[in-house]
Each structure stands twice: as C-alpha cells, then as structure tokens.
Amino acid sequence: MSALSKAKGFKKSRSGLYVSMATSAFGVIGVVKQIKKARTENDTLRLIDAVVTGAAVVTNLAILYRELKSFGDDDVLLG
C-alpha cells in the first residue's frame, strides 16, 4: 500500500474522525472571537458571517459524530 493511499484511508478511520472533530472544535474558538469583535464594532455583517460560520462548524461536527457512530458501539466512550 502506498503512503498516499494510507493517508487517504486515515480520514475515514476512527482516529481520522477524532482528528477531524478536534480540528472542527478548534474552529469554534475562531467563531467566538469573530462574534466578540463584531459585537464590539457593531458590525452586523461580520456578526452574520460569524453565525453562519458557527452553524457550519456545528453541522460539520454533527456529520463527523454520525460517521463515528456508524463504526459501531464497541467504543466505551460512545455509549
């Protein structure tokens, strides 16, 4: 198996999903900062952008969680 095909397979593995979820969760920090800045500057357009971005992050986390659950219930942390 080549290194490239192993790397592509990692994204669909359980470990890859955990990494993707952590990366998405860090995106929440940026959204919170953007919301605070928009409120400070009374910038409605930037606030709308932050809310839409936040919705995208939450949706991405939900999709990743659903994929993680499809691996089965053999993981103690998933319940």
- Residue-wise pLDDT for 28-74, tens only, equals 999 999 999 999 999 999 999 999 999 999 999 999 888 888 876 55
pLDDT exceeds cutoff 50 at 3: yes
Rounded CA separation 46/2 (Å): 44
Please report the pLDDT score of residue 38 as a whole number: 96
Tell me which residue of 19, 31, 18 sits closest to 58, measured CA to CA.
31
